Amino acid sequence: MLSAIAVPDLPEVAPGDDLAALIAAAVRESCDPPGLTGEDVLVIAHKVVSKAEGMVRSLREVAPGPRAIKLAREHGKDPRHVQIVLDESRALVRAARGVLICVTRHGFVCANAGVDASNVPAADTVLTLPRDPDASARRIRRRLRELTGTSPAVLITDSFGRAWRHGQVDVTIGCAGLAPLEDWRGRDDTTGRPLKATWIAVADELAAAADLARTKDGMQPVILIRGAGRNVVDEDGPGAAALIRPAAEDLFR
C-alpha cells in the first residue's frame, strides 16, 4: 500500500531557516507512526526550499531590458516580471496567448520558468526555483540524516502544465535518494512479450501523488509518502536532471 500524508504544523519558512530541522521536528511530533525511516519519501514543494534559500526577487530592483519590455507589451505582463523570467531561462520555447513557455536554466520546460508571484512573503516580490534543486535535495537529505539517523528520499516539486492536456500536475525538479526512472526495458510481461510501458517516471508519479494529499492554500508544503520503499536508494543518485529529455531528442520544442 502507498500512503501520502501532509506533514502538519510546519511554520512559515524564512531565508536561512534549517528546513530539514523543521521537517524532522514536525514529522517526529505529529506523524503516525512518528519519525522517519529510510524507506520514506519526503516530497517538498519547491516554494519552501526557495524561501529557505532566499530565492526571492523584488520587482522594484529589476530594470527590464528591451526584450522583456517587448514581450510584456505583447502578452500583457509586467516587464519586470518578464525580465526575471528571462533571467531564469536558457531559452524561450513558445510565447503565445499570454503564456511564456521557457527552458529554465536547469533544463526544465515550464511556464514562466517557474517564477511565481503567489504565496510569497511580500508584495512586489516573486519566488524563483532553487538554483540547483538536486543539490538542495541532497543537502536536505544529508541534514536529515545528521538529525535523525535515517535517510529518506527527498523530492522537490513544482506544478507544471503539459502539452496536449489541460491542467497542471506536480512533477519532480530535484531529488536525492530515489531512482527517478524505473526501467523495465528488456523485461517481459506475463505472456513473455516485451512490456510496453517500460520506463516509468516514478519521481513524477510520486510528486503527483503527494499533491493529492495537500490542500492548495500553500500551508502543506511537505508530504510524507510511505510504501514506495522499492524506489528509495542509499546513494543520492542522478537526481531530477535524469528526467530532462535533451533538446536534441525532443520532438516538441
Q: Tell me whether residue 32 or residue 61 sits nearer to a copy of itself (CB atom).
A: 32
- Residue 20: CA atoms inside 13 Å, Cβ hemisphere, count? 21
Does residue 201 belong to the site contacting a copy of itself (CB under 8 A)? yes
Exactly one of 101, 137, 140, 153 binds a copy of itself (CB under 8 A); that residue is 101
Q: Which stretch binds a copy of itself (CB under 8 A): 15-23, 64-72, 84-92, 120-128?
A: 120-128
Nearer to a copy of itself, 124 or 147 (CB): 124
* Cα→Cα distances 172→43, 57, 60, 73, 140, Å: 9, 23, 31, 32, 15
Instruction: Give the footprint of a copy of itself on residues 1-60 (CB under 8 A).
Output: 1-5
Q: Which stretch binds a copy of itself (CB under 8 A): 58-66, 78-86, 111-119, 130-138?
A: 111-119
CB of 149 to a copy of itself, least distance (A): 25
Q: Which stretch binds a copy of itself (CB under 8 A): 19-27, 75-83, 130-138, 186-194?
A: 186-194
Nearer to a copy of itself, 78 or 205 (CB): 205
Window contacting a copy of itself (CB under 8 A); options: 18-26, 74-82, 84-92, 176-184: 176-184
**CB neighbourhood size of 131 (10 A):** 13
Shortest Å, Cβ 181 to a copy of itself? 5
73 binds a copy of itself (CB under 8 A): no
Q: Is 217 exposed, middle or buried (0-12, 13-18, 19+ CB in 10 A)?
A: exposed
**Ordered DSSP codes for 63-105:** ---HHHHHHHHHHT--HHHHHHHHHTEEEEEEEETTEEEEEET
Spatial CB neighbours of 141, under 8 Å, sequence gap ≥ 6: 151, 152, 153, 154, 176, 177, 236
x/- contact string, 138-167, with a copy of itself (CB under 8 A)? ---------------------x--xxxxxx
For 231, the 3-state DSSP assignment is: helix
Whole-angstrom Cα distance, residue 169 to residue 157? 10
Q: Is 202 in the site for a copy of itself (CB under 8 A)?
A: yes
98 binds a copy of itself (CB under 8 A): no
Determine contact, residues 103/91, Cβ cutoff 8 Å. Answer: yes
Shortest separation between residue 27's beta carbon and a copy of itself, angstroms:
14
What is the Cα–Cα distance from 201 to 95, expressed in whole angstroms?
28
Contact 150, 38 (CB under 8 A): yes
For a copy of itself, the binding residue among 54, 94, 98, 146 (CB under 8 A) is 94
Q: How far is the CB of 233 from a copy of itself (least distance, A)?
A: 16
Q: Is residue 189 a contact residue for a copy of itself (CB under 8 A)?
A: yes
Query: CA 208 to CA 7: how far, in whole Å?
Result: 16
